[in-house]
Structure 1
Amino acid sequence: MSTAPRPRIRPGAVLANAAVAVGCVLFLGGFVLAAILYQPYEVPTDSMAPTVSTGDRVLAHRMGGDEAHRGDVVVFREETWGDVPMLKRVVGVGGDTVACCDDRGRLTVNGRPVDEPYLPGDQPAAPYSFSAEVPEGELFLLGDDRQNSIDSLTRLLGEDSTGTVPAEAVSARVEAIVWPVDRIGMVPGAADFGDLPGGTSPDGPLRPILWAAAAGAVLILGGTAYGPVSRRLRRRRANR
């Protein structure tokens, strides 16, 4: 009794199938991980311009307010601020004294001047002089467009108000703009805050996640292309 010959196992096909399998894990895993760790938001106002502007879609790394560092652009929700998600920059944490301005128009934190290159134009760090002590467990938040932002500085003018927000009101830190297309990119950090005690926040996992998803896409495309390409090459060799 004759038996059918076993199909020849081609190493290239095995590698291609493995590449597709690994690619699917990286590609889909990247999207799942991003959905778990990140929350999309639409920017409601221009108070954080030019860093982010009205209508921008951003990705924010989910975190608690106890993880917020000076310089972070955070998403928070606090009833007395309107009880809707808002974006502002942390310039002071519990125990800090935030003041403005020095002789160069800069913000000072605990007496140390801070350069803020993200401020629009030649705008000073605040529209008027102030000094505020940040209570423990609270955050002092400012918009990047200091002339047109309702923030801790504005609230500081109210009676019996420190202008601060409870750290527990923070739910995420903005890391990237994902829409519109011409503004896609990572939100730049505020490096000058890094010289203060506690430093700035470490980079989030978004970049590695995006690289993993991109590598997965390349492996999937390469693996699926192997079959048609190898068959075409075999036909060419057979026709010679």
Structure 2
Amino acid sequence: MSGTGQDSDGHGRLGSMLSGLAVAVGCVLFLGGFAWGAVVYRPYTVPTESMTPTVNAGDRVLAQRVDGDEVRRGDVVVFTDRQWGDMPMVKRVVGTGGDKIACCDKDGRLTVNGIPVDEPYLRGSGPASVNDFTAEVPKGQLFLLGDDRTVSLDSRVHLEDGGHGSVPRSAVQARVDAVAWPLGGMIGRPRAFAALPGGVSSAGPLRLQLGAMGVGVLLILGGAVYGPIAARSKRNRRTKAATGAR
């Protein structure tokens, strides 16, 4: 009987230690992932329908804080430029410094340096632009278009103003990685731009941050549940031992 009681107490102490450790590690992962995300990402509300169907007006998106020099073709970016209204806007980068942008080829596609680009993210099945245009992107600049080319006021409009239609890389504040609300999932990097020199941007750390937070929640819940279960199991063993002694 004495040995059984000591084993039971030992198992109980081990269970309590494991439970506490799981909760502690879970808290570190959850809070660490949340803090990391708060530092790297910031939320934005999309103001217009110009990026439909990728993001819609009123959607809350998570955008990674990046320097403009990190931006690549295909990125959906948040930027502010005085010539565009001096307010945060969301558009897609289709050209960088030195690129020659034209639309449309015989198949209705946008071309970058003469290379046609398939854009499955566009709204509708028509040509990549309702109006033909050509542009050369100055060094250190970005050429930006909306995904709904029928309504988007983008670099094409500013070409008509007599300029080059682009904005400086320094105007970029962040790169959009996901639609947070309503839940819309991750925004990937278009494969078509990957074949061009410079490729596309690497994925942001959002998946890793969410994964750490998810594992943290599971460990916290598992540790919290294990404690009462272990205590009940200990009581049951003691009851059985006492009953057997009679």
Band the TM-score falls in, shorter-chain normalisation = over 0.9
* Letter matched to residue 162 of structure 1: H
Q: How does 1:61-210 map to 2 (within 5 A)?
A: 61-159=64-162, 161-180=163-182, 183-210=183-210
CA RMSD of aligned residues (A): 1.4
State the distance in 2 between where 1:73 and 1:28 align. 28
Q: Tell me, which stretches of 5 or more residues in structure 2 are unaligned?
A: 1-5, 241-246
Query: What's the TM-score, normalizing by structure 2?
Result: 0.91
Deviations 1:50-74 (A, max 9, x none): 0000110000000011110000000
Inter-partner Cα distance in structure 2 for 1:129 and 1:213: 47
3-state SS, counterpart of residue 55 of structure 2:
coil
Structure 1, gaps ≥5 residues long: none
Instruction: Give, in angstroms, the shift of residue 236 of structure 1.
Output: 2.6
Bigger radius of gyration, 1 or 2? 2
User: Offset of 1:179 from its aligned partner?
Assistant: 0.4
> Separation in 2 of the partners of 1:118 and 1:201?
17
Per-residue CA shift, 1:105-131, capped at 9, x if unaligned?
A: 000000000000001121311111111
Rounded Cα–Cα distance in structure 1 between residues aligned with 2:159 and 2:149: 14
State how far apart, in whole Å, the 2-side matches of 1:209 and 1:56 are: 21
2:3 aligns to what? none
2:147 and 2:174 map into 1 onto residues whose CA distance is: 18
Q: Which ranges of 4 or more aligned residues in structure 1 deviate by more than 3 Å?
A: none
Deviations 1:180-239 (A, max 9, x none): 1xx331013211100000000000000001000100111111111111111112223333
Between the aligned residues of both structures, percent identity stands at: 58
One-letter code of the match for 2:238? A
Whole-Å Cα distance in 2 between the matches of residues 35 and 178 of structure 1? Answer: 14
Please give the TM-score of this superposition, normalised by the length of structure 1: 0.93
Matched residue, 1:49: 52
- Distance, in Å, in 2 between the alignment partners of 1:109 and 1:66 is 19
Aligned residues: 232
The separation in 2 between residues aligned to 1:229 and 1:215, in whole angstroms, is 21
Give the Cα separation in 2 of the matches to 1:206 and 1:108.
31
